[in-house]
Structure 1
């Protein structure tokens, strides 16, 4: 029976710890990449919406008040 004094046990503990650390690193890196790409997509979409709203407000101001807001 293996006890905590056996080198094989410590080797298995080390391999398991290294594997867990590597897995956490890979998963966290992938999560950050996905989060960044989603934020970038949201930013692009919001800029497009703001430009559309700005264009609409400019058209309304010009039509209603004769003011050109450029």
Structure 2
């Protein structure tokens, strides 16, 4: 069976249409598969990042609590020491005032006696 020109061109056209249709179908399917895989990876990464964010937030909150507790303890200890120093300085000041009065009395006695 011999094919004439119009039949050859028709077969070439059908072959080209089938090839283009197949490539279009394969490209569409590949695009869908890639989109699904990217979405799956995105969901996995989002879940992991959320988990890390939760764990990191919990650790930071724990550190914040521990540091606040230590700072409050240091503040209390420092306040206690400062109060103790204030009391000691108050006693020293009163003793110095008493010594000053006694010295003033001694000087007044000494200078009056001459």
TM-score normalised by the shorter chain: which range applies? 0.7 to 0.9
Give how far 1:65 is off: 2.0
**Which gives a bigger RCO, structure 1 or 2 (Cα 8 Å, sep 6+)?**
1
Give how far 1:59 is off: 1.1
Runs of 4+ displaced beyond 4 Å: none
Question: Take 1:11 and 1:55, find their aligned partners in 2: how far apart are those partners?
Answer: 65
Task: Summarize deviations over 1:44-70 as a string: whole Å, max 9, x none.
Answer: 101100111001101111112229xxx
Question: Take 1:63 and 1:43, find their aligned partners in 2: how far apart are those partners?
Answer: 30
TM-score, with normalisation over the residues of structure 2? 0.53
Structure that is richer in helix per residue:
2
> Gaps spanning 5+ residues in structure 2: where?
67-114
Task: Summarize deviations over 1:22-51 as a string: whole Å, max 9, x none.
Answer: 001100000110011011101110110011
> Gaps spanning 5+ residues in structure 1: where?
none
TM-align CA RMSD? 1.7
TM-score, with normalisation over the residues of structure 1? 0.83
